[in-house]
Structure 1
């Protein structure tokens, strides 16, 4: 009892003295939505903690629960169409090239062979229900329209539902419109609609990009009230009326020929009725990451809750919810243990017998099942609808005092002094080629390993394991009274001048998220890291490889988290195996290729659409982190092991590149400049990536003393590649032709890859090209979504413009909940990055960008404080890592370097530059070198 009260007093003291413990996110109210909740993770299991006093929710994931199954992704015989596609592009006939590629060059979709017949039979069944029968059916329920993210987000139990849903409402016909034909504006609909007014068909269409505006003939109208009925067919992903991006009013009727603004609004009291929720499985190019379930705790705290607080301590990776109920302190702690592969929680109170609650396991997956395992354990079993994976989760309770009752539906705790909850989860995934594991056995084994240990020992081991990674780095940008504010208030009031410590917290939070979502032996961090609550997440929450997956790992090497990149290297090797068949079937080439997405099953073929899905340099880009890891660690054993994937990626382009008849250069065709401008020949980004691939592979071969002849081939090919070009607007051209639009503000800045993350455009190597790249970035502007803003931070850091980089960081930390427009980034209340919606790459890219502002080493030397903004006049950073195997500690005062410490791990020569000063050090492994602001030894 005394220890609990002491803990409570310590926590409350910490609230008043937040500067003593700044590495915390903290709030004065529970989470209202998922992007308010606090994330914990161990690299395989992740949970979002909502922190409700009366009702607690832990939404949890397991990294291998996806749709899909092991299968073939490459389309046999696609390569026979490659010459014709190239010829059409060379002739400027892009639309025809895209059409041909759509028909014959995209990858295989799951279920595509059987879908047409199954769909026809299903449509015949659902069309047997007439509009009159539907509108008269029992069970209609209210639903707010529009639903921007589909009916799945309406909170009505429709999560993940595909099928047929009817909607109905009404409108009043003004007497003055009698005898006039009307227009009905419904905005956008997913996927197909059949729309009736007063039982008469007025229109039907398919496709979410099409705006539904239907003519309603006067003969179909009635005086006064008119009934609108819409049958919405949704084959996959989200469904519903989503008309929220129109420039003109939607959900209105108006006279034909009149302005929509003069219209009459539809009655907002919409209703819906589910006709069918079992459509055939729609063809899908790749799989989607899935939620697992929810742990729901219900407490008898209906009133009397005071002094509420929830927080996430990223220094220990422990979340906490605390409050008083009827003046009794209650505390809940949560962490995700990597050593024991479980989510663990302790519930305590300042008094005996005060803890009473029920625990349930729930899942958005249809037909999930819960069941009693023993007198202290409840289980959850789920089956993914689109694919073969199964999952099982175990929840076990251990109490001090009180009574425990377990049924098939819930776990009940009554009048306990203290409670520990253990949550494990497992799936039937073995490897990307095998999904036949026994998830119940795995969940039970994990529970057996963890349940016998005390909470204190589990927490101590968890913190020790976590801090071995987290404590490798620290940063101090100064402290202000802003740190005393709750995190959501800090975000609302943020400016770099008044709260620089929020940026330091944001940087460390990026490291926390990477440690939590990417650990050795697991899967890499995906588009949402490890956390996802939706059966239909945006972009499948996959691995998008035209920047997003790579951005996830930008901070790994510089910020002391090399160990967290291990899952990325596993994915690269697995994708390389799969990518060999894609290289052969689609390009008749050696080596391996990866297009702009992959998934749990390591698909590498082009997906979605030809105008952006045929992008060939994903594999080439993914070899850059391999070479970077070697440069930072000087680990030759690692390089020797991973060199084959670099060589194979280079072999593909030796075979793939063709000579452009107009210029004589080697070019990449077909491809695109992600995700901009359609299918083209010779995009600048491709050539930058390929040059760097050839250069890095050559350098790796030299380090290892292998493949001398292949080195010569790569050097010659690189010399013949189409070079970077400066266009008529002073810009770095995005394409082979000079066709950039200086008013174009597209969020991708792909042609600037050679500045960052590439290394070929530097002040020393090509100052004119660097200026052209800067001009391009100025033309694109400072706006963007989360990850786009993060990329711009890194680019402005490479341009040595710290003040501009900081302006972008300020946008990156703007409150996303207040944002307007689909292109507005920022952060949510829990500091998750907003694409929008949530994508974790912006968190990682922003952290990397701050590191680039303080130290750069890509040009062959250590450049200290290359982009220090005026708003960071004094500060200190410890544990920055640099290429060559160096660990760097920096301290600066009044905008100038004060001292630097450089620890040499590999004994490599080290050139150091600051402002106009430079010094060369002949270092020895294990030695540390201290220099002053003049770069003189101390």
Structure 2
């Protein structure tokens, strides 16, 4: 006699297969079995400017809302106009080796006027802070009955978050997405039963806002943020409720939905921030959101959203051919834990890669502000470090993945932001250095702050703006767009004019060096025991100057202009202090071979020449590459989230995929958000795959994503040589896979696949018709469209081959 199958067994099987039933895939889905307990378990959606974090609570759903331009504070005059009178004295003290005296004078005079960033708590200062828009609440009527079959999923391919559960036999589904074409957020709530939806909808903000109900079906919020003694930014949000049936009523400041089967909730938000002129105001935010809501058409909204988002998302792909059925039933936090304990999960790095491109598309669209320290997702009114633009690596790291993924247009906000810094940067250059051109130091914001910070130990680094210009030149390297180069050439020119003007000759070797400056946030020990940060010619400054001068020289020559400037820059570039190797065999961070005050400091700024700049490579500068390895050994593999991400890129550039994988696994170490204090040498990944600095900073996500790219695909160096699998780990999970739609410097698009660690096939498409420098694997051929072999490697080692290409031509790589 057969035994009946128990209900509990069926329920268990159903729970096991919930991920499959709701479209779970190991490489494109973030999956939770429970509602979010906190911010770092919630799911992000965004359309570049309007974002939300979804908690998925079936009793009281919370959406943390964000609008990208919502900043307190405003324009401020933070320059000390007379600071430049102390410049020569500070420089002379440095030349005499009197670093302490120079540092004291710098701290007294080369800081911001006023409070600057407010010690990273500038929400109520002129500097301001990025702030949450507020919270949307869905409060359910029936909360006593047990919830079953719960799932919460973010589908990265569709940019749609879903929450599903069953209560009393009534299956409830919530669907969330933020539409790029419609510039609104859409929530669809549905039930299996015709009268199964009974909830109230509320909108609130803890400060500086008022919420009312308009027309019976709209929640309206208007407010104004503080800006010290001046009027601050105005903002508005409008939430419209569209039920298919049932009734709407009003309870206090909430809209009540009763006995409906389907409800659409449409959200719009806007501010009066002016991207073209931040000193002014741009229109009435309430009228903006009313216009968006009134013009929105529900018919075809989801199709429009999918078409727009997937046009970005599907441009490139990474696949690993190995999968582990054991992880299929695991939630994302369970997969993180399993991976940290040595479990196999080849698709987890692919998921992390896909999440990186998802976050970039969702937080940075053309015509907006750049993605900030939190992307567009924050829950605070005083965000960590003001949620601003740190330009000594962090905002730059946000955009490292844009060009190789073919998302150069998504870096437009950073290009425009850099261009807009020039006006304030010219005033700052005059005030502190009496120099031409423009400068920006370490921190900035939507108000285009360029002054030093309030503390010289970290805030006087002078090459933040120059670093930003690298992204402009990189865009040209990838696209060859001379119209773009002509438009942005003034940015390169002005940054070069500034650096060229502030260089002085140090007495020991006669090198040109920056002074005064520092190596971002780090300090040194002089032989007499003095611990300092103020120096002349720190290595990162010299590397950035070489890169910037070289880029400006090339740009001027391409455009046929500024021959006098080119001559000056060539002379100065030739005599800049070079990279040097210290007594320990490591790369010196300072002009002198001083000891590091913190040998394992999170910043490894003097390896800028390895990545993102490419003047140090294992094939062109092997001695310097070995010194870099020694430096990384001394620094160690720990650090904050973004620091670990940067180290992945370092080791990949060195061709050591196994060590890069060690860092990737460290970056993926699970971190629980339990209110712990910030620990600057501890990083990892939260349950929702947000990078833990800690706290959350999005730069680590982007840096880790591009680290995976560098392990599998590179195109840097003097010859811009395309290299496939340059740092492939020996781990079995990585031995078979494919990449498609990868962009290489020189205007190439590359697809390729590999098996057992060897390239099997691929294709190269030339957008510009430039000659291709390609590291052809052993036993491979490259053929043109007519099948003619134009490059062939019959040897037993990969070798570089050069071949001419035609614009639009496709070339096949085969055995």
TM-score scaled by length of structure 2: 0.90
Deviations 1:690-714 (A, max 9, x none): 1000011111122222222222211
Shift of 1:864: 1.4
Structure 1 CA distance for aligned equivalents of residues 600 and 265 of structure 2: 50
Which deviations, in whole Å up to 9, do the C-alpha atoms of 1:859-909 show, x marking residues without a partner? 121111110111211111111110011111121111111112111111111
Unpaired segments ≥5 residues, structure 2: 1-13, 524-532, 778-796
1:446 positional shift: 1.6
Alignment counterpart, residue 609 of structure 1, candidates 455, 458, 472: 455
Match of 1:680 in 2: 535
Conserved? CA contact 1:19–1:484, under 8 Å: no
Give 1:763's aligned residue: 618
Equivalent of 1:319, from 143, 151, 161? 161
For residues 876 and 844 of structure 1, the distance between their equivalents in structure 2, rounded to whole angstroms, comes to: 20
Secondary structure of the equivalent of 2:692? coil
Matched, 1:719 2:557: no
In our comparison, the structure showing a higher alpha carbon Rg is 1
Aligned to 2:557: 702
- Of 678, 690, 714, the residue aligned with 1:856 is 714
2:269 paired residue among 407, 425, 439? 425
Q: Which aligned pairs between 1:347-426 and structure 2 lie closer than 5 A?
A: 347-365=189-207, 367-386=208-227, 388-406=232-250, 409-426=253-270
Matched, 1:593 2:439: yes
Which among 768, 771, 787 is matched to residue 906 of structure 1? 768
Secondary structure of residue in 2 paired with 1:673 = coil
| Kept in 2: contact 1:109–1:283 (CA 8 A) | no
1:465 aligned residue (291, 304, 308): 308
Shift of 1:236: 8.4
Counterpart check, 1:869 vs 2:729: yes
- 1:557 partner SS: coil
1:18 and 1:483 in contact (8 A); partners too: no
Q: 1:106 aligns to what?
A: 111
1:76 aligns to what SS in structure 2? coil
> Secondary structure of the residue that 2:685 maps to in structure 1?
coil
Q: Is the 8 A contact 1:483 1:490 kept in 2?
A: no
Judge conservation of contact 1:372–1:407 (CA < 8 Å) in 2.
Answer: no
Q: Find the counterpart in structure 2 of residue 488 from structure 1.
A: 333
Counterpart secondary structure, 2:492: helix
RMSD: 2.1
Q: How does 1:75-86 map to 2 (within 5 A)?
A: 75-86=80-91
Report whether the alignment pairs 1:739 with 2:594: yes
* CA distance in structure 2 between the partners assigned to 1:439 and 1:63 by the alignment: 13
| CA gap 1:483/1:881 in 2 versus in 1, 3 angstroms | farther
Q: Is the 8 A contact 1:51 1:310 kept in 2?
A: yes
- Give the unaligned 5+ runs of structure 1: 1-8, 113-234, 239-280, 934-938
Counterparts of 1:297-336 in structure 2, within 5 Å, are 297-302=138-143, 303-336=145-178
What is the correspondence of 1:270-289 to structure 2 with a 5 Å cutoff? 284=125, 286-289=127-130
Residues 36-67 of structure 1 show CA distances to partners (whole Å, capped at 9, x for unaligned) of 00000111111000000010000011111112
Q: Distance in 1 between matches of 2:602 and 2:592?
A: 20
1:84: Cα distance to partner?
1.7
1:619 to partner: Cα distance = 1.3
Equivalent of 2:660 in 805, 818, 839: 805
SS in 2 for 1:722: coil
Following superposition, the deviation at residue 920 of structure 1 comes to: 2.0
Contact 1:53–1:301 (CA under 8 A) maintained in structure 2: no
Q: CA deviation at 1:742?
A: 9.8
Matches of 1:35 and 1:91, distance apart in 2: 51
Q: Flag the 1:283–1:94 CA change in 2: closer, same or farther, 3 A.
A: farther
Q: Is the 8 A contact 1:378 1:406 kept in 2?
A: no
Paired residue for 1:925?
807
The CA deviation at 1:436 is 5.5
Q: CA offsets, 1:123-147, max 9 Å, x none?
A: xxxxxxxxxxxxxxxxxxxxxxxxx
Paired with 1:361 and 1:791, the residues of 2 have a C-alpha distance of 39
Tell me how far 1:16 sits from its aligned partner: 5.7
Q: Is the 8 A contact 1:51 1:57 kept in 2?
A: yes
Correspondence list, 1:440-479, <5 A: 440-450=286-296, 452-454=297-299, 457-477=300-320, 478-479=322-323
Deviations 1:338-359 (A, max 9, x none): 1111111000011111111111
CA gap 1:14/1:836 in 2 versus in 1, 3 angstroms: closer
Question: Deviation at 1:21?
Answer: 6.4
> Structure 1 residues 486, 730: closer, same or farther in 2, change over 3 A?
same
SS of the residue 1:687 aligns to: helix
Which residue does the alignment assign to 1:338? 180
Once the two structures are TM-superposed, the CA of residue 538 in structure 1 deviates from its matched residue by 1.2
Instruction: Give the conservation status (yes or no) of the 8 Å contact 2:19–2:329.
Output: no
Please report how far the alpha carbon of residue 15 of structure 1 lies from its aligned counterpart in structure 2 after TM superposition.
Answer: 2.6
Q: CA separation in 1, counterparts of 2:543 and 2:456? A: 22
Report if the CA contact (8 A) 2:115-2:454 is conserved: no
Deviation at 1:822, TM superposition (A): 4.2
TM-score for the superposition, normalised by structure 1: 0.78
Instruction: Decide whether aligned partners of structure 1 residues 484 and 888 sit closer, same or farther in structure 2, where only a CA change above 3 A counts.
Output: farther
**d(CA) in 2 for partners of 1:111 and 1:101?**
16
Q: Secondary structure at the match of 2:466?
A: helix
Work out the CA distance in 1 between the residues paired with 2:21 and 2:224.
47
Alignment partners' CA distance in 2, 1:43 and 1:834: 22
Tell me, yes or no, if the aligned pair for 2:24 and 2:31 is still in contact at 8 Å. no
What are the Cα deviations for residues 258-289 of structure 1, in whole angstroms up to 9, with x where unaligned?
xxxxxxxxxxxxxxxxxxxxxxx998473211
Q: Aligned-pair distance for 1:13?
A: 6.1
Residue in 1 aligned with 2:681? 823
CA contact (8 A) 2:123 2:381 kept: no
> Aligned with 2:70: secondary structure?
coil
Which of 464, 484, 487 is 1:641 aligned to?
Answer: 487
Q: What is the CA–CA distance in structure 2 between the aligned matches of 1:284 and 1:716, rounded to whole Å?
A: 44
Q: What are the within-5 Å matches in structure 2 for residues 575-594 of structure 1?
A: 575-594=421-440
CA distance in 2, matches of 1:58, 1:435: 28
Equivalent residues of 2:26, 2:348 under 8 A apart: no
Partner secondary structure for residue 535 of structure 1: coil
Distance 1:412 1:752 in 2: 58
| In 1: Cα distance, 2:104 partner to 2:201 partner | 54
Distance 1:533 1:562 in 2: 29
CA distance in 2, matches of 1:507, 1:518: 17
User: Cα deviation per residue 1:304-332 (whole Å; 9 max; x = unaligned)?
Assistant: 21000001001010000000011111100
SS of 2:401 mapped into structure 1 = helix
Deviates more, 1:14-23 or 1:837-846: 14-23
In 2, distance between residues paired with 1:650 and 1:237? 29
| Aligned-partner Cα distance in 2 for 1:527–1:666 | 34
